[in-house]
Amino acid sequence: MRHSSFCTMARSIVLVTGNKNKLKEFLYIAGEDFPIKVEIQDFDLPEYQGSPEEIVRAKCDLARQQVKGPVIVEDVSLCFNALGGMPGPYIKWFLKNIGPAGLHKMLHGFADKTAFAQCIFGYSSGEEGSKIHIFDGRCPGKIVEPRGSTEFGWDPVFEPEGYDKTYAEMAPELKNSISHRSKAIAALRNFLNKSESL
């Protein structure tokens, strides 16, 4: 199990993730002034099926049971409007099997290339029966032929609305200021700033 932390506050919360890129982005976006100390735990959670919110709730409840304390889990979706929201929360499996170029080809023959990237965080105080709070961040855009670095999943095929670069072509500072993850983290930060439950 791997642990790391930032901030100097006494209170702490566990972020469960095994994805090094997601962890790096979370820490970068959250920044040193995040309202609570974050510890990272890397352990396997089952791959659930359902809507993005249902998946996050299930993962968060299981993580709460294992961590036995305040916990955050994340799930990311890439939703093609022409396909009714697919691949959605199953993007990881689509990406693994067909790659970024295959994702672009999925919309061959469709006039509508629009899509949205979605990041959902689930938070639990860790107490039995406690409410799971959901923080949903979305970034509208469109699916294009792969451009830029292939280091970070489907970033090469997603071009955010209002920009002429894909996530993969953007400087990290720009991407992390407009991304679906940054919006979800902002909502989570606002909640933690107001919360008295930790």
Q: Is 22 annotated as a binding residue?
A: yes
Q: Is 19 annotated as a binding residue?
A: yes
Tokens 């080809």 correspond to 105
| Closest by CA position to 121, among listed 22, 9, 34, 46 | 22
Q: Is 75 annotated as a binding residue?
A: yes
Give the Cα separation of 193 and 57 in Å (integer): 22
Q: Is 108 annotated as a binding residue?
A: no
Q: Is 8 annotated as a binding residue?
A: no
Q: Is 59 annotated as a binding residue?
A: yes
Q: Is 142 annotated as a binding residue?
A: no
Q: Is 180 annotated as a binding residue?
A: yes
Q: Within its chain, how far is the Cα of 8 from the centroid?
A: 25
Q: Is 21 annotated as a binding residue?
A: yes
The binding site for ITP comprises 17-22, 59, 152-155, 175, 180-181
Mark the binding-site residues, compressed into ranges: 17-22, 47, 59, 75, 152-155, 175, 180-181
Binding residue numbers for Mg(2+): 47, 75
